[in-house]
Structure 1
Amino acid sequence: MANEKLFSKTEINNNTFKNRYVVAPMTRISAEQDGRANERMRNYYERYAKGGFSAIISEGIYIDDRYSQGYADQPGLSSAEHVNSWKPVVDAVHKHSVLFLAQLMHAGGQSQANRYTDETIAPAPVAPKGEQLGFYGGSGPYQTPKAMTDEDIQQVKEAFVQSALRAKEAGFDGVEIHGANGYLLDEFLTDYFNQRQDSYGPSLTNRLRFIRETITDIRNAVGPDFVVGIRISQIKVSDAEHKWAEGEQDAETIFSELGKTALDYIHVTDKDAAAPAFGNQSRTLAQAAKDFSGLPVIANGKLGDPEKAETLLKDNHADFVSLGTSALANPDLPNKVYNHHEIKPFDFENTLLPKAYVKDHELQMEIIHEEKFNGCCK
Structure 2
Amino acid sequence: MTDTDLFGPYDIDGLVLANRIVMAPLTRNRAGAGLVPSPFAAEYYSQRASAGLIITEATQVSRQAQGYQDTPGLYTPEQIAAWRKVTDAVHAKGGRIFVQLWHVGRVSHVDLHDGEAPVAPSAIRAETKTFVNNGFADVSEPRALEAEEIPGIVEDFRKAAANAIAAGFDGVEVHGANGYLLDQFLRETANVRTDAYGGSIENRARLLIEVTAAVAKEIGAERAGVRLSPVSPAGGSVLSGNEQAQYGYVVEKLDGLGIAYIHVVEGATGGPRDAAPFDYDALRQRFRNTYIANNGYELDLAKSRLSEGKADLFAFGHHFIANPDLVDRFKSGVPLAQLNPATLYGGGAQGYTDYPAAIVSADA
Is residue 81 of structure 2 the alignment partner of residue 84 of structure 1?
yes
Give, as a single letter, the amino acid of the residue that structure 2 aligns with 1:162.
K
86-95 or 5-14, larger mean C-alpha shift: 5-14
Residues 129 and 360 of structure 1: CA distance in aligned 2, closer, same or farther (over 3 Å): closer
Give, as a single letter, the amino acid of the residue that structure 1 aligns with 2:116.
D
The correspondence for 1:239, drawn from 228, 236, 240, is 236
The correspondence for 2:158, drawn from 161, 168, 179, is 161
**Mapped partners of 1:35, 1:339: distance in 2:** 38
Q: 1:71, 1:136 within 8 Å by CA — same for their partners in 2?
A: no
**Mapped partners of 1:357, 1:306: distance in 2:** 28
Give, as a single letter, the amino acid of the residue that structure 1 aligns with 2:336.
I
| Secondary structure in structure 2 of the residue aligned to 1:143 | coil
Q: 1:128, 1:238 within 8 Å by CA — same for their partners in 2?
A: yes
Is residue 99 of structure 2 the alignment partner of residue 106 of structure 1?
no
Offset of 1:278 from its aligned partner? 4.6
After superposition, residues 221-370 of structure 1 pair within 5 angstroms as 221-224=218-221, 227-233=223-229, 234-239=231-236, 242-243=238-239, 245-271=241-267, 275-276=273-274, 278-279=276-277, 283=279, 285=280, 287-303=281-297, 305-344=298-337, 346-347=338-339, 349=341, 352=344, 354-355=346-347, 358=350, 361-362=353-354
> Which residue matches 2:41?
41
Q: 1:257, 1:293 within 8 Å by CA — same for their partners in 2?
A: no
Offset of 1:357 from its aligned partner? 9.0
Residues 268 and 116 of structure 1: CA distance in aligned 2, closer, same or farther (over 3 Å): farther
| Secondary structure in structure 2 of the residue aligned to 1:362 | coil
| Secondary structure in structure 1 of the residue aligned to 2:116 | coil
Give, as a single letter, the amino acid of the residue that structure 1 aligns with 2:126.
P
**Mapped partners of 1:255, 1:76: distance in 2:** 27
| Secondary structure in structure 1 of the residue aligned to 2:193 | coil
| Secondary structure in structure 2 of the residue aligned to 1:39 | coil
**Contiguous gaps of at least 5 residues in structure 2:** 357-364
**Per-residue Cα deviation, 1:27-66 (whole angstroms, up to 9, x for no partner):** 11111131112321111111111xx21110000110113x
**Mapped partners of 2:313, 2:240: distance in 1:** 24
> Which residue matches 1:129?
127
Q: 2:98, 2:173 within 8 Å by CA — same for their partners in 1?
A: yes
| Secondary structure in structure 2 of the residue aligned to 1:260 | helix
Residues 136 and 216 of structure 1: CA distance in aligned 2, closer, same or farther (over 3 Å): farther
The correspondence for 1:219, drawn from 211, 216, 228, is 216
**Per-residue Cα deviation, 1:292-338 (whole angstroms, up to 9, x for no partner):** 222311111111x2111111111121111111111112121111121
Residues 357 and 223 of structure 1: CA distance in aligned 2, closer, same or farther (over 3 Å): closer
Q: 2:30, 2:348 within 8 Å by CA — same for their partners in 1?
A: no
The correspondence for 1:182, drawn from 175, 179, 183, is 179
Identity rate, percent:
29
**Contiguous gaps of at least 5 residues in structure 1:** 365-378
Give, as a single letter, the amino acid of the residue that structure 1 aligns with 2:325.
D
Q: 2:221, 2:257 within 8 Å by CA — same for their partners in 1?
A: no
Give, as a single letter, the amino acid of the residue that structure 2 aligns with 1:265.
Y
> Which residue matches 2:69?
72
Q: 2:321, 2:339 within 8 Å by CA — same for their partners in 1?
A: no
**Mapped partners of 1:135, 1:295: distance in 2:** 42
**Per-residue Cα deviation, 1:155-194 (whole angstroms, up to 9, x for no partner):** 1100000000000000000000000001100010111111
**Mapped partners of 1:360, 1:125: distance in 2:** 37
Q: 1:313, 1:319 within 8 Å by CA — same for their partners in 2?
A: yes
24-33 or 267-276, larger mean C-alpha shift: 267-276
Offset of 1:275 from its aligned partner? 4.3
Q: CA RMSD in A?
A: 2.5
**Mapped partners of 1:18, 1:321: distance in 2:** 13
Give, as a single letter, the amino acid of the residue that structure 1 aligns with 2:299.
P
| Secondary structure in structure 1 of the residue aligned to 2:314 | strand
**Mapped partners of 1:101, 1:292: distance in 2:** 24
**Mapped partners of 2:214, 2:11: distance in 1:** 24
**Mapped partners of 1:350, 1:128: distance in 2:** 26
**Mapped partners of 2:340, 2:351: distance in 1:** 17
Q: 2:221, 2:260 within 8 Å by CA — same for their partners in 1?
A: no
**Mapped partners of 1:272, 1:149: distance in 2:** 31
129-138 or 261-270, larger mean C-alpha shift: 129-138
> Which residue matches 1:374?
none
**Mapped partners of 2:276, 2:353: distance in 1:** 41
Offset of 1:347 from its aligned partner? 4.3
**Mapped partners of 2:268, 2:106: distance in 1:** 26
Q: 2:225, 2:262 within 8 Å by CA — same for their partners in 1?
A: yes
